[in-house]
Structure formats: C-alpha cells, structure tokens
Amino acid sequence: MSENTQDTNTSLTLLFYRQITVLNPQRHGELKIGIAPDQSFASHTNSVPLVGVEFVESCREYPVVFARAENGTYSPVAVLGLENAENLFLDEELAWKANYVPAFVRRYPFVLGDNPANPAQPWVCVDESCPWLGEEKGEPLFIGDKPSVFLNQTLSFLTDYNAQSQRTVDFCRKLTDWGLLKEHQAQATTADGKAYTLTGLWAIDEPALTQLDADKVQELFKTGELAWIYFHLASLANFRRLAERKATKVIAPSSIH
C-alpha cells in the first residue's frame, strides 16, 4: 500500500490569475467576454478559497477546512483533490461537475483591486490572459466610456464577495483568538490500495468548542457563525467522497483525526 502526502498550505490569494489589469474604457473599450468553454484554468489546484456563507452549500460537496498562511492567519478552503495540483471536480472535458461551484471560481476572470486614491471605490480588474476575452463576440464590458450592464452586474457580485470575504476574515480571527482551530491530517484510501494523507490543514477543535464560554457561543449563534462551524465539521466526511471520485470504490473509510 502506497502513501501520498500533500500539503494544503499554499498561496491561495490569486491562484489562476496571471495578468491582472485594471479595466478602463481607453484600453478595454472594445473588449467582450464570451462563454467559458471549460474550467481548465482551475485544473491545477487542489483547493480554492471559500467565504463563510458558502459553507452551507459547500459542505454537501467538498471537505471544508482552514489553511494557514505564512503570516499566521487562517482562511477556509474547499479541498478539491487528494494530490498536489489535482482537481477531482473536473470531468474529461474540463467542465466542473458539482452542484455548487465556489464563488472564487465563478468570479474568474474578474477581481477587485485596491484603489489607493479612493479606497471606497476599488478597481475592477481582469485577467487579460483569459482565453474567452476578446473583441469578436460576447458581452461588451463597456458601452462607450461607461460600464455595460454586464460589468455593473459583475461589480455588484465582486463587491458582495469582498464584503463576505471580510466577514470571513473576522470569523477566522475569532476562531484563532478563542483557540478553536487545531492542526489535523486527513486520510483516505482508494480501491487500488493507495493511501493519501493531507497535511497542512486546520479544523475546529470540538473539545475546545464544547468548553467555550456561553457568551461566546451566544455571539456565534447570533451572527450565524455557529452554523458555519457545524457545516464545516459535517463536511469533513467528504474526504471519503474525494476518494470515491478518484477510484470507483473505496475499500477503507477515510478519517480525520
């Protein structure tokens, strides 16, 4: 029986973005965005960031864990594969096969960027390397020098995403300050006898959670974050489902300890 170990503690901030540029009508006035032919841009990542409000949908599909950045902060991610650079949610045609696709994936190729001159109005940026951007066909990004309806809808989505990202940062800071995160390993074995161990992931320490002061539990309940915690814990059973995606049958149950 072989063992493959991979570490989820990688840089997740921009992942598949390559050539990020601030959108402006002078440079991109004729630019259009077509329909993505596939999700090949996400084919070489085994995890993507999540925001807390996604836990309710994500826990039905993916293991939801926490990754630790070099600066010591934590962020939730959906685990997509059992090996490095492996996304088990893409089929042979590189289409995403899941009932829920994380917002981080759905927002590509757009992202908000900091605007030093006016922090309240961040820039809308785009990955110019995106293959379905061009001037031939698709939805226009500008009408004259004004944002199109599509671009305004995109801005609304990105603004909400960033607001939820900040809420998630605050949630993770709370978990850290209250000592609720503990480093774990996840294990799964496929039908062909290969054992996979995922390291560099963090999960809620259930004993610590049960010892939490009542006022802190009440705070988590009122903010809806207590539900996020239990969605996260329920999702850990999905490491078995990853093994099922990798092989036709799992011969030993996966576990997290």
Q: Distance between CA atoms of 113 and 116, rounded to whole angstroms?
A: 9
- Phi and psi at residue 181, to the nearest 5°: -105, 140
DSSP-assigned beta bridge partners for residue 127 = 20
When pLDDT is averaged across residues 176-181 and rounded to a whole number, the result is 97
What confidence tens digit (pLDDT) does each residue in 22-62 have? Answer: 999 999 999 999 999 999 999 999 999 999 999 999 999 99
* Number of domains comprising the chain: 1
- In terms of Cα–Cα distance, which of 186, 187, 172, 182 is closest to 202? 182
pLDDT of residue 120: 84
**With bands split at pLDDT 50, 70 and 90, how would you rate the model's confidence at 121?**
confident
State the residue range of the domain holding 189: 3-256
Burial class (CB in 10 A: 0-12, 13-18, 19+), 163: exposed
Other residues' Cβ atoms within 10 Å of the Cβ of residue 204: 20
pLDDT of residue 253: 41
Mean pLDDT of 56-75: 95
Q: Residue 3 above 80 pLDDT?
A: no
| Beta strands across the sheet bearing 20-22 | 20-22, 123-127, 110-113
